[in-house]
Structure formats: C-alpha cells, structure tokens
Structure 1
Amino acid sequence: MSRPLVIYGAGGFGREVLQVVRDINDARPRTWDPIGFAVDQAFASTSLVQGLPVVGSVDWLAQHPEVEVVIAIGSPAARRHIVRRVVQEAGNRFATLLHPHAWLGQDVRVGEGSVICAGALVTTDISIGSHVHVNIGATIGHDAVLKDFVTLNPSVNVSGNVQLAEGVEVGTGSVLLPKVSVGEWAIVGAGAVVTKEVPADATVVGAPAKVIKTRSHGWQGQ
C-alpha cells in the first residue's frame, strides 16, 4: 500500500523532489502516493503544480495526520523554520527520499526528512543528519559527517573526513578538501575550493576559499 505524501515547497526544488518521488515509484511501484504540494499562503501563486494541487499549509497537515511530508525548501534556515512549525502544529511525520539512481555504500546513515537526489555518490562510513539535501551529482567521501539541515547543491565534491555543521550551505560545483570542517550556518559560495576550516556564520568564496562576510550568531533565526 502506497504512503500518502505532501511536498512542502512548490518551487524548482519542490518539482525536482516530485520527480524523485516518481522515479522511486517507477523502481518500487506504489511506494508513495504524492497527493500535492504545501506552501505558505504568501507563496500560493497557483492552485496546480505539475498536475497536483496546492493543498494548503501547516494547518492542512494538522488536519491530515495520515499524510507524510518532505520539506523541499533550498534554504537551510527556511527549512529549519518550517520543520519546527510542522512538528509543533502537525507532529513529526517526515519522509526520507533516496533516489534509485543515487549510490550509497555500506554504513551510510541518513536522517529523517533528508533527500538524496539522482547521481549522488555517497561512499562509506558517512553520517547524514535530518532534513539534509544532497543534490544531483554531489559526492561525499568516507567518514564525512553532515549535520542537520545541510544543503549540498549540484556537483559538490565533499572529500573524506569532512565535517559540515548544522545548516551549512555549499554552493554548486564547490570542492571541500579532506579533513576540513565548516562551522554552523556557514555558506560556501559556488565553485569555491575549501582548503581549511571555515568559521561558523561565515561566507567564503574563491579558490582557495576566503571569508568575505561573517554574520552575527543566530542570524538564521528560529
């Protein structure tokens, strides 16, 4: 019996997540029953997205406890905010999606609500937290740790023994060399090459990556 699923977020990544769901169903029929998208009222610009209805927001989820949800919002800070609202108002019932064309080796742990997209390569002895997004073509080397709400954008290369703290966002095509660590809520710009530790709340760009901005602690909000 398929499990009813709502995708929270109807933008570009929300539509990509729908494709992940459809591909999972092609590989393992009747895994999921995607019944629609949830969005905050301010973002409800249409009533249909790829043939599926926009059903409402967190209040709708609260009225439908049988439905699981995955948060398809690219921003780690916004994703955490929505997760907390869903848990508080509608309970904890998050779906974890692993694309059938992603490769995960042995001893890879993936937390609830995370999405691993097509073409991702995740080797061995890796810990991936909750509500993490690993986009298309990203690679993660041995013994890496990705904490909750991390986002790897397309074609990111995470080397072995890399540590990514909560809320880190890594831009498209970036490379993180072995054993580097990136602090909480830091941002790695697209195409950067990270060769040394990145402080919490910093934004780094370039090759080698250098800090161009540091936000105040707690900038991501609650």
Structure 2
Amino acid sequence: MTDIVVVGAGGFGRETLDVIEAHNRVCIRPEDRLNVVGIIDDNPSTINIDRLRSRHYEVLGGLDFLIANRPAEAYVLGIGSPRVKKQIAERLDREGLHAQGVIHPQAVVGSDNIVEPGVIVCSGAQISTNVQLDRHVHVNPNATIGHDTHLAEFTSINPGAIISGEVYVGPTTLVGAGAVILQGLFVGTGCTIGASACVTKDVPSGKTAVGIPARWAT
C-alpha cells in the first residue's frame, strides 16, 4: 500500500478521491492500493472542509505543512487549472516528493500507451491506442482521446471533450467540456479551448479558441 496525499480540497480534488476509492475497490494485491492520509490545500473553504469530513478525510494543512512534515512521500494533484498544477508540481518535485497517478477502473485504456507519473483518468474516459499522456495530464469523465495522440504535461481535458487521432496538445493547455479537436491538428502551449468549440486548424501557443469552427484573436 502506498501512502499519498491529495493536493486540492475543491471539486476536482474530491473527484480525484472518487477515482482513488474506485481503484482501491478493484485492487487484488494490497500493495497496489493507495492510502490517502489526508488532503493538502493552502486555502480550503469551510464548505469543502465539511464535505471532506463527511467522507472521513481531513485537510492536514497547506504545501508548507506537506514539505515540512512529510505525512506521505507521494502526492496526487486534484487541481483542475493546468498552470496551477505546474507550479505546485515543480515545487513538490524540487522537494523530493513523488507524483502518483491513478486510473478509474471504468475508464477504457487501449494498448501500447505511455502514461507518465501523476496522470489521472476518470470514469468513462476512452483512451485509444498508442496514446502518450505526459506528467500530470488529467482526463475527465467521458472524454475521448483518439489513437496516436500526445497530450503534453499538465494538460487538462474536461468532461465530454473529444480529441481525434494524431493530435498534439501542448503543455498547460485546457480543453473545455464538450470541445472537439479534429484529426491531425497541433495545439500549442498554454492554450484554452472553449467549451463546445470545434477546432478545425492548428492553434498557436497562448490562444483562447472558441466557437464552431473555433476562432481566436490574432
């Protein structure tokens, strides 16, 4: 069994706990289970603290507490924002903590894939063959990732998004709920693809693409 902390007391942090609990329920070997020793958050709201306590989880403290006290040596980032994920992961990695990933047992993951540390794949996600998921990629419920696609580090794919085959999505990019990226396209670093957008051409780094077909300011 691996002791871990979940970083993030908000909505995605609690969804991450759902993925961990589902993972543990189907583990045959005890050593494959993940033991959540607590939640780390610099500024948790009262309502989120109460929601976590109702599930028998406690907020232990913020990042400084984690680094100073080491209640666990492994962490899972339950945070939706790609940029915030990057900032926190880089700090924790410098301090020698280790990223832990988890895949929901009701996700479908194909063959010949590369899944790096810190990846979270939620229930109902469909990941095809020869897909690369770099560090701390999050694939939310019911998202679809097509064959031969590469999602770079800290990318977040929101619920119901469809990434077609042979797509590259750059680091710290957010793909909104229900968005579609068509086959063979390139999306640069730090982009935001709006909810329900349909991307029909390459998106330069730093752009926010919205609409059908998706457009952005030049």
The structural deviation recorded for 1:60 is 2.6
Corresponding residue for 1:143? 148
Q: Please list the CA deviations of residues 25-60 of structure 1 after superposition, one character each: whole Å capped at 9, or x if unmatched.
A: 1111640111211001x3354655132110112233
Given that 2:127 and 2:144 are in contact with CA atoms closer than 8 Å, whether structure 1 keeps it comes out as yes
The structural deviation recorded for 1:84 is 1.4
- 1:84 is aligned, of 83, 86, 90, to 90
**Structure 2: runs of 5+ lacking an equivalent:** none
Hey, what's the Cα distance between the residues in 2 that align with 1:93 and 1:107? 24
- Count of residue pairs the alignment pairs up: 210
Hey, what's the Cα distance between the residues in 1 that align with 2:3 and 2:87? 23
Given that 2:135 and 2:153 are in contact with CA atoms closer than 8 Å, whether structure 1 keeps it comes out as yes
Corresponding residue for 1:117? 122
Hey, what's the Cα distance between the residues in 2 that align with 1:181 and 1:127? 15
1:10-29 correspondence to structure 2 within 5 Å: 10-28=9-27
Hey, what's the Cα distance between the residues in 2 that align with 1:111 and 1:60? 26
Hey, what's the Cα distance between the residues in 2 that align with 1:44 and 1:136? 24
Hey, what's the Cα distance between the residues in 2 that align with 1:124 and 1:211? 31
Q: Please list the CA deviations of residues 148-178 of structure 1 after superposition, one character each: whole Å capped at 9, or x if unmatched.
A: 0000000010000001011110000001100
Given that 2:9 and 2:49 are in contact with CA atoms closer than 8 Å, whether structure 1 keeps it comes out as no
State the TM-score, normalizing by the size of structure 2: 0.92
Hey, what's the Cα distance between the residues in 2 that align with 1:175 and 1:206? 11
**Structure 1: runs of 5+ lacking an equivalent:** 215-222
Q: Give SS of 2:98's match.
A: coil
Corresponding residue for 2:208? 203
Q: Please list the CA deviations of residues 102-155 of structure 1 after superposition, one character each: whole Å capped at 9, or x if unmatched.
A: 111111111111101111111101111001100000111111010000000000
Letter in 1 for 2:151: L
Letter in 1 for 2:44: F
Given that 1:44 and 1:54 are in contact with CA atoms closer than 8 Å, whether structure 2 keeps it comes out as no
Corresponding residue for 1:52? 57
The structural deviation recorded for 1:92 is 3.2
Q: CA RMSD in A?
A: 1.5
Corresponding residue for 1:220? none
Hey, what's the Cα distance between the residues in 2 that align with 1:121 and 1:192? 19
Given that 2:101 and 2:118 are in contact with CA atoms closer than 8 Å, whether structure 1 keeps it comes out as yes
Q: Between Structure 1 and Structure 2, which shows a larger proportion of strand residues?
A: 1
State the TM-score, normalizing by the size of structure 1: 0.90
